[in-house]
Structure 1
Amino acid sequence: MIGSLIQPAAAHAIPPDAVARAKMIVAQMTLDEKIDQMHGIKTATQYRVVPGNDRLKIPPLLVTNGPSGVGPGDVVQPSATALPAPISLAATWDVGASRRFGDIIGSETVNVGRNLMEAPTINIARVPTNGRTFEGYGEDPYLVGKLAVANIQAIQDHKVLANVKHYIANNQETNRFKVNEVIDERTLREIYLPAFEASMKEGKSASAMCAFPKINGTFSCEHPWLLTGLARDEWKWDGFYTSDFGAVHSTVESSKAGLDLEMPTGKFFGDELKKAVADGKVTVEEIDAKLVRRFAKMIEFGIFDRPITQTPIPAEKNGAVARALAQEGMVLLKNNGNLLPLDPKALKSIALIGPYAGAAMTGGGGSSKVKPLYTVKPLDGLKSRTTAPISYVDGADIDAAVAAAKAAEVAIVMVGDNATEGKDRPSLALDGNQDALVEAVVAANPKTVVVLKSGGPVLMPWLNKTPALLEAWYPGEEDGNAVAGVLFGEVNPSGKLPITFPRAPGDVPANTPAQYPGIDGTATYSEGVFVGYRHYDARKIAPLFPFGYGLSYTRFSVNAKIVGNVVHVQVINTGKREGSEVVQVYVGSPSTPTLQEAPRELGAFAKVSLKPGERRMVYLTLDDRAFSHWDTPSHNWKITPGQHKISVNGRPVGSIRR
């Protein structure tokens, strides 16, 4: 199939009656009424809202964040279930988990009386120090896309409009409002666009949020090709665009490009838009088309026909789901001598130590921050599972931490970071005295377990001396219960890293100032498609922990063979505990000097849960895209001719000729 083209999938269409009804409403509107519907408002009593129109029975568009649970919405933020960070969800490698995550977000959006959810965040983790790495799903576009589709579908099952973001390449917080990102066509298509393509075509996201950065010189919210040429004309997406807050820089250009709604207010789509109409620079017909797109989606989702209500969130029920999701996302990175799981009955004493051991780590900062319904402290989670005496010190005084560690049978050190929207982390190092704290505690007690609560990769100068390490990410409101449940073996950890952990700062793909944070306002994506593990594999740089890595309290045998384009995988739980394994199928396409390919790219995956001794066959089909590259001269996908090497969970299993 040399040079064959891959045709786009058939697109979703709004029901014709919804479009017809929207057109009838818009036809009755005055120009002032139309302009009022083109932007949000911010007053002392209302925020993140496009007010309704009582005369025409147009309901308000009520917006809420976000990707970690229902976050900032109106002027007063409601309480909601603080789910684990989305990076934790990505570590589950489980589309079922993503659906459960989206189900909570969608149902609670309805509970709090809103109808558009600004989620999911699906930007690729190009720069691990990005302040919003915790908000996304990691570094691989295929994994991100599969999780995004499940999340969107679950949100929209509740007749809530999903708002996939940030379209596109919102990959750094430094200079985020005006950075110009220079990204070649192939890299856009293979790395930064596939998850959005999946979200729009397969996930059928009702809306999308255009992002802050410039892409090759043009701001995203006034980018005709991104907004119209690609999504609407090529992908046949029929949703509507909202802007990120403050991401609009023009009236005429943004309108012509295809932006439908300015948020949070109408700096450019208010009086300036009306003036542009009067001056003949924007037509009424263009505004009508924008309103029809949004109203038709709202009609399709029943928003025009149901009252706005607020109902109590089932805190205990949803909290149980949050706890299970947090546990499924935890990644066991090291477990020398099977120190974990701990035996709650045999334990004599525990020293709980560290700056992240005192309170629940409910999430990162910024617009995704959830006001939790309740929280479970780490100490309370441990105490509910063992009668062993537990001492607690916050680690500020290392001498006190050492004394506590020496006096206890087991030391549990909880360290981490507190990433936030609005700024990137200054480095991959843990801040303050945390590295010194871990070193000192490990030296004082050979039975030390380190629990890492981070929003992404961190450096670990103490790793070689540490017997056990659990990456818990930001566990959410159920932090204490979720972490303790894994430490004591109630739950067998099954998470796999969705992002590479480097050994040294200079090992990352974007390792020059020109690449990140950019020079004179321009960030050049000169690494091309070699992002994340593609970079480490191609450059033969050994990471601290590779993409897809994660241990278990049990053992698995994974054997595979290839039949056509289907990989047949037998998974056997050869250990003594029930557990889950992720089958990861990678494709290594032929590489030439003129068409450089990564040594391997994720082509399919599945998560399998097995009891001890149980075995199961998994059949994973590799579609044409798995064997393809973006051919810039023809502006299309082409299957790369030759032998494509197939590996499963790190082991070669043969090749497929295309």
Structure 2
Amino acid sequence: MKKRSRRLTAMAAASTITASMLVALSGGVSGTDRAAAAEDPCAAWMDPADSPSERADALVAAMDLDQKLHMVTFSNPSWFFYWGTAGHVSGQPELCIPDLVLSDAGSGVAGFQIATTTFPSGVVQASTWDPRLQRRLGRAIGAEAHLKGINVMLAPGMNIARTPYLGRNFEYFGEDPFLASRTAVSVIKGLQQNPVIADAKHFAVNNQETDRMTVDARVDERTMREIYLPAFEASVKEARVGSVMCAYNRVNGPYACENPTLLTDVLRDDWGFDGFVVSDWGAVHSTAPSANAGLDLEMHAVEIPLPESSVTGTGGRFFGADSMKAALAAGEITQQRIDDMVRNIVRPMFRLGLFEDPVAPGAEPFLRDVTTPERLALAREVAADGTVMLKNRDGLLPLDDASPDGGRTIAVIGWAANPIGASNATAGGGSSHGSGLPPRVVSPLQGILAEARDRGDRVVYVEGSAGVDAELAAAAADVVVVVATDGATEGSDRPDLGLRPSACVAVFCTSLPSRQEEMIAAATAANPNTVVVLDIGGPVRMPWLDDAGAVLVPWYGGLEHGTALAEILYGEREPGGRLPQTFPRDEEQASFDPAAYPGVDDTATYSEGLLVGYRWYDAMGERPLFPFGFGLGYTTFDYSGLDVRRTRQGAVARFTVRNTGDRAGSTVPQVYVSAPRATGEPPRQLKGFTKVRLAPGDSRRVTVRLDRRAFAHWDVDADRWVVSPGRYGVLVGPHSRDLPLSGTVRR
């Protein structure tokens, strides 16, 4: 990317006089006011009527060097030893600066926290395709964080699912930059409705756990701008995220946390980011180069060497007072840069109310149970609305439609279905994994038992790993529910698309021996009325698919997973999710050249360019197992009457959606744009969507607006977004491979 001249606003800000200071200098205050100000040493920056920038300037002007340097690195004790949090910067009461307390997040207040709500993981949140629901979820998570004495949530994660093997895909929002952007903006806005700072991570091009500490992601500028950066850009420009976390990996040479192209040229100069850049834990490799590149706050796990395969990173305290003072004395870093680092940290603290509503970490908030009935209900709603139904042969589901009077024998099979297994199958491993204390996950077995009692059905359970017990139980039942899981985790990528369960204690997980594919095959072969439930973090292979009666993908559904699943099975709720990732047919279809992934000699070359996820399948004419955006419900819909009109900046698409079934339900109309061939864009790309819920027989005229970016591509020579003149296709339908409506618009 082209080097831009640095903005001078930071230098100008250093000499800014706040409104309250002007009044004082002009003598326009009474003796009483002057006396009150003298009694309150923080008065110059504690007036919420002043702007966050004015308050930040006043605070920095009052600080000495030691007070400033205290703000740019973590305080001891670090990494979970401070009330179960990921790290903190202790407050400075003499300056009225509150503690800055950071927690792992994603599916709720995680890490070593206890008595919090484990919500469905990021992939489930994206699968809802429902921004309003995602914002409610973010607001609930932020509220729990503040009650636990936490004011920085290290979420959301928004890295693109470049490969189905990425171990952290379950934390992220899928393979499409537009869907990831919409989800990220919604979650961030919800989180920051509380006096809590959200953190957009991991910036940037952090798409593998293999060699994650050292791999150099080599990606061209256009691909980075169009695929890997849009979610971060939207988080900054639309959601005004308070912090951004730089990643472990290198990006086109420099480490992400000492990469001026990313941290200054793009993040601040292009996008106008006014918050702070925090390092991933142990991702800092230098003092002056990192600070000058744009890193503001160094975080670390423990100050002892750790194995590279561990959950956290390695390294030392590069932003400690001694190191920073030495760099300052040597002329390697300026006082101005240190001042800017502190401003960047305190500015979002002022803007989001952390000074007015400070947290008080301690034993009481750590032990406090913040789960409420309302939050459990929200967890169930998200779990159901993010569950994707991939198959439903002959209307096997919902069960009450086929036999409303009960009397069935239901065989529940699988380690992941029982309470112990479910506690390890409702969230992925690593930093976003909740502690599970107290243990209150509702397992699939518990959820189904509760519903079955009310319906007059009988439930039998077998663990199923022997194969023969799964076959016998399935053959003797009227309906079978077999539950399997894959233990995706931070710190390692998946070796293949198989099903490998794991057991986790807080952030530490270990794989377990498993024969789940054989278990599923035995059950589906023995009984055609078998529902396969996949508690997974990403696509898996399905050699048993033809024999299955129905397939549900709840992903990692959180602590209310079992209740939501049972309600779906019996038809109280609809499986409302749509795939945020393409499911490949087999390993070969998902494979990469080793130079592209996982890389050779610590270099991963993104040679596929823009052809990520469904873009590659469409461009290559490949048929996936299940396409991006796919998902079935309990009713059917018809799309008609597309009208596309050009607007000044973009276009507007209007069409009619009608519920043609006999049940209420939802559909997700998806709008794709195809660009003129000369632009070099993929065949079609998601640029708009909405979620529509209709009663049987009802219809609605739907409007989806497409902004200028829906038709733009990144022009490397012009160094900006460009709309090439020509005719653009606008395609509408229920998923990326079913687009029955088409129109055109000239730009």
TM over 0.5: yes
Distance, in Å, in 2 between the alignment partners of 1:296 and 1:600 is 40
Given that residues 353 and 401 in structure 1 are in contact (C-alpha distance below 8 angstroms), is that contact kept between their aligned partners in structure 2?
yes
Aligned match of 2:327 in 271, 276, 291? 276
Distance, in Å, in 2 between the alignment partners of 1:653 and 1:248 is 49
Matched, 1:367 2:417: no
Distance, in Å, in 1 between the alignment partners of 2:197 and 2:405 is 48
Write the letter of the residue equivalent to 1:272.
Answer: S
Distance, in Å, in 1 between the alignment partners of 2:604 and 2:186 is 32
Given that residues 111 and 312 in structure 1 are in contact (C-alpha distance below 8 angstroms), is that contact kept between their aligned partners in structure 2?
no
- Structure 1 equivalent of residue 355 of structure 2: 304
Distance, in Å, in 2 between the alignment partners of 1:395 and 1:528 is 43
1:169-226 CA deviation, whole Å, 9 max, x = no partner? 1110000011100000100010001111100000100111011111100111111121
Three-state SS of the structure 1 residue aligned to 2:232 is helix
Write the letter of the residue equivalent to 1:33.
Answer: Q
Distance, in Å, in 2 between the alignment partners of 1:25 and 1:197 is 29
1:391-428 CA deviation, whole Å, 9 max, x = no partner? 11111111111111111111111112010000001111
- Structure 1 equivalent of residue 235 of structure 2: 199
Given that residues 418 and 446 in structure 2 are in contact (C-alpha distance below 8 angstroms), is that contact kept between their aligned partners in structure 1?
no
Offset, 1:16: 5.4
TM-score (norm 2): 0.84
- Structure 1 equivalent of residue 548 of structure 2: 466
Given that residues 79 and 370 in structure 1 are in contact (C-alpha distance below 8 angstroms), is that contact kept between their aligned partners in structure 2?
no
Offset, 1:293: 1.6
The number of residue pairs the alignment matches comes to 640
- Structure 2 equivalent of residue 575 of structure 1: 661
Aligned match of 2:414 in 354, 361, 383? 354
Distance, in Å, in 2 between the alignment partners of 1:591 and 1:502 is 26
Distance, in Å, in 2 between the alignment partners of 1:301 and 1:548 is 35
Distance, in Å, in 2 between the alignment partners of 1:113 and 1:618 is 43
Distance, in Å, in 2 between the alignment partners of 1:292 and 1:639 is 37
- Structure 1 equivalent of residue 503 of structure 2: none
Offset, 1:498: 0.5
* CA 23–562 in structure 1, closer or farther in 2 if over 3 Å, else same: closer
- Structure 2 equivalent of residue 217 of structure 1: 253
Distance, in Å, in 2 between the alignment partners of 1:488 and 1:25 is 59
Offset, 1:122: 0.5
Distance, in Å, in 2 between the alignment partners of 1:167 and 1:282 is 23
- Structure 2 equivalent of residue 442 of structure 1: 524
- Structure 2 equivalent of residue 321 of structure 1: 378
* CA 25–654 in structure 1, closer or farther in 2 if over 3 Å, else same: closer
Offset, 1:231: 1.4
Matched, 1:653 2:742: yes
Q: What are the ranges of 5 or more consecutive residues in structure 1 without an aligned counterpart?
A: 1-12
Matched, 1:34 2:68: yes
1:153-168 superposed matches below 5 A:
153-168=189-204
Matched, 1:477 2:559: yes
Offset, 1:313: 1.4
Three-state SS of the structure 2 residue aligned to 1:536 is helix
* CA 345–273 in structure 1, closer or farther in 2 if over 3 Å, else same: farther
Larger radius of gyration: 2
Offset, 1:504: 1.5
Q: What are the ranges of 5 or more consecutive residues in structure 2 without an aligned counterpart?
A: 1-12, 14-47, 302-315, 501-513, 734-738
Offset, 1:652: 3.9
1:434-476 CA deviation, whole Å, 9 max, x = no partner? 1111111111111111011110100101111212111110111
Given that residues 129 and 424 in structure 1 are in contact (C-alpha distance below 8 angstroms), is that contact kept between their aligned partners in structure 2?
yes
Moved more, 643-652 or 396-405: 643-652
Distance, in Å, in 2 between the alignment partners of 1:312 and 1:101 is 18
Matched, 1:176 2:212: yes
Given that residues 42 and 264 in structure 1 are in contact (C-alpha distance below 8 angstroms), is that contact kept between their aligned partners in structure 2?
no
Write the letter of the residue equivalent to 2:494.
Answer: R
Distance, in Å, in 2 between the alignment partners of 1:547 and 1:17 is 44
Offset, 1:312: 4.4
- Structure 2 equivalent of residue 24 of structure 1: 58
TM-score (norm 1): 0.95
Write the letter of the residue equivalent to 1:453.
Answer: D
Write the letter of the residue equivalent to 1:349.
Answer: T
1:398-417 superposed matches below 5 A:
398-417=467-486
Aligned match of 1:109 in 145, 150, 169? 145
Matched, 1:95 2:114: no
Distance, in Å, in 2 between the alignment partners of 1:521 and 1:585 is 38
Three-state SS of the structure 1 residue aligned to 2:165 is coil
Distance, in Å, in 2 between the alignment partners of 1:558 and 1:190 is 29
Q: Which runs of 4+ in 1 moved over 4 A?
A: 13-16
- Between 1 and 2, higher relative CO (CA 8 Å, sep ≥ 6) is seen in 1
Among all aligned residue pairs of Structure 1 and Structure 2, give the percentage whose two residues are the same amino acid: 46
Distance, in Å, in 2 between the alignment partners of 1:504 and 1:642 is 38
Distance, in Å, in 2 between the alignment partners of 1:655 and 1:304 is 52
Moved more, 115-124 or 25-34: 25-34
Given that residues 240 and 260 in structure 1 are in contact (C-alpha distance below 8 angstroms), is that contact kept between their aligned partners in structure 2?
yes
Given that residues 275 and 347 in structure 2 are in contact (C-alpha distance below 8 angstroms), is that contact kept between their aligned partners in structure 1?
no
Write the letter of the residue equivalent to 2:177.
Answer: P
Distance, in Å, in 1 between the alignment partners of 2:405 and 2:204 is 51
Three-state SS of the structure 1 residue aligned to 2:573 is coil
- Structure 2 equivalent of residue 538 of structure 1: 619
